[in-house]
Amino acid sequence: MTRPAPTVLLVEDAPSLRTIYRSVLGAAGFSVHLASTAAEGLAAFHRHRPNIVLLDLALPDRDGLSLMREILALTPDVCIITMTTDTSVTLAVEAMRAGAYDFLVKPFEDDRFLSAVQSANAEMESATRAPPPRRRIAGSAEQAAFIGSSPAMARVQAILGQAARSMATIFITGESGTGKELAALAVHGRSHRAAGPFIALNCGAIPPDLLESEVFGHMKGSFTGAITDKPGAAAAADGGTLFLDEICEMAPHLQTKLLRFLQTSTIQPVGAVRTRKVDVRIICATNRNPIEQVRRGLFREDLYYRLYVVPIDMPPLRARGADVIEIAEAALRRFSAEEGKTFTGFSADTKAELLSQSWPGNVRQLLNVIRNVVVLHDGGLVTPEMLPSSLTAETSPPRSPHPAPTTGQTLAQIEREAIEQALARHGGSVPLAARELDVSPSTLYRKLEGWGMRRA
């Protein structure tokens, strides 16, 4: 019986390159499906379910990395080979960490191109004969946040299933590292919008003066540096889902525009004179207490009630009991396969040690610990001595470096004093001070500018 040809999805916006790549793959016996945009690519992926995806990272309607993350969230075992003209090492690292099987820099030779695809195909065929596959697993490792059978996660899964079928706005809360973006992806993937785009925007990672442009877009010449028209995240998410992470870091003036957007479903790019209507579902997330942010005047109360329709609270790892061991064991299997090593599991003492930790970094921290063990040891049974020496120190409650506030100080004075002391301890470094204070660097930059201070 003749075996079916391996299926490849090629997402490339340049017609000439699509023709060349399809010719090379066709001659090698691959069945190729074509797409020229991210939207077409996602629809084709749902339709054909290919084993291999060739993905250009510079697509006209969406960032290729976000599309890759969405595909991997839907089908973690698919092999995605990214292609770009950008020679940046940072981009390559980001793509591999996000789950890319391989990274090709254009222009590349036909032999290099075909070798990458054939290698991915061999991995997929090997996986069907002897799972689990030995492949790069950064994308599937992120799925670890949903591993576990604790009552806390059972409740989250039940809410996600119900919420996905609705059109309601979803507000996800939880500490850093608990899997808030993964929860948003799960809602999107189970909804009737799954074939549409999933656009994620971290409101805390973008300077306040650029955030409006990132959300709503801008017109050419609307400000210095606006050399072309740019569609914002809201326009890019038309027909799909817009995920606004760290929503409580959004500047007040932009909160007003977001509220108007939620009320009218229209956007007005910076510098535009006309509005346009878009069809977008909003999912937002924060690692803060949104009610407290409202009480402090940092988040609009009317916007809060507009967004807080279906709340989902991602539980911290310390509240999930034996899920810690289930996640650790799954991560150990995956990372061992990635590194080509053989680990037989965790000793009883190691399991006890893992269960005793408070895990302030939650699932993200646990994955880093397991990866550290796999990288630095050859295999066998994981004993407590193999765990990072800093684990206990990092997870034990820190001694507060802040003196008790002086009686009579206002909240603003106490806040400024705490920030200035943190900056002094870290030599004026805003990112390091922000990490200690558990706030976004953009929050500190905004406050320092308000005080007439500028720091690195």
81 beta partners: 54, 102
- Checking 130-133 for CB contacts under 8 A at 24+ apart, the result is 132/333, 132/334, 132/337, 133/77, 133/337
What's the CA gap between 370 and 336, in Å, rounded? 10
Same domain, 106 and 194: no
Q: Distance of CA 353 to CAs 319, 384, 392, Å? A: 16, 7, 9
Which residues are registered as beta bridge partners of 54? Answer: 10, 81
In terms of residues, how long is the chain? 456
Quick check: 134 and 101 in contact, CB under 8 A?
no
Give the number of other CB atoms < 10 A from CB of residue 51.
20
Measured between alpha carbons, how far is 188 from 369 in angstroms, rounded to an integer?
30
**Domain tally, the chain:** 4
* pLDDT confidence of residue 115: 83
Q: What CATH number is associated with residue 50?
A: 3.40.50.2300
Residue 55 lies in a domain: yes
Query: Residues 391, 346: one domain?
Result: yes
- The reported pLDDT for the residue numbered 452 is 67
pLDDT given for residue 3 in this prediction: 60
Instruction: Specify whether the CB–CB gap between 199 and 66 falls below 8 A.
Output: yes
- All residues at 6 or more sequence positions from 368 whose CB lies less than 8 Å from its CB, including other chains: 361
pLDDT digit string (tens) for the chain, length 456 residues: 456 778 999 999 999 999 999 999 999 999 999 999 999 999 899 888 898 999 999 898 888 888 888 888 777 778 899 998 875 555 666 676 677 877 788 888 888 888 888 878 877 776 544 333 333 333 343 466 778 888 888 888 888 888 888 889 999 999 988 999 889 988 888 888 888 888 988 888 777 778 888 888 888 877 777 778 888 889 989 999 999 999 998 888 889 989 999 999 999 888 888 888 999 999 999 999 999 999 999 999 999 999 999 999 999 999 999 999 999 998 898 888 888 999 999 999 999 999 999 998 899 899 999 999 999 999 999 999 999 987 755 544 444 444 445 556 676 777 788 888 877 776 677 767 777 787 766 677 777 777 766 544
Q: Is the dihedral of CA 159, 63, 197, 273 positive or negative?
A: positive
Here the CATH number for the domain that contains residue 332 is 1.10.8.60
Determine the Cα–Cα distance for residues 71 and 8; give it in Å rounded to an integer. Answer: 14
Q: Looking at the structure, do residues 179 and 304 belong to the same domain, yes or no?
A: yes
- 148 part of a folded domain: no
Return d(Cα 85, Cα 105) in angstroms, integer: 5
Q: What is the per-residue pLDDT for 130?
A: 37
Cα separation, 127 vs 1, in Å, equals 21
Residue 129: predicted pLDDT: 41
State the residue for tokens 């591999």: 96
β-pair partners for 286: 173
CATH of the domain at 217: 3.40.50.300
In a domain, 143, yes or no: no
Could you list the residue range(s) of the whole structural domain that residue 223 is in?
167-313
Beta bridge partners, 277, equal 266
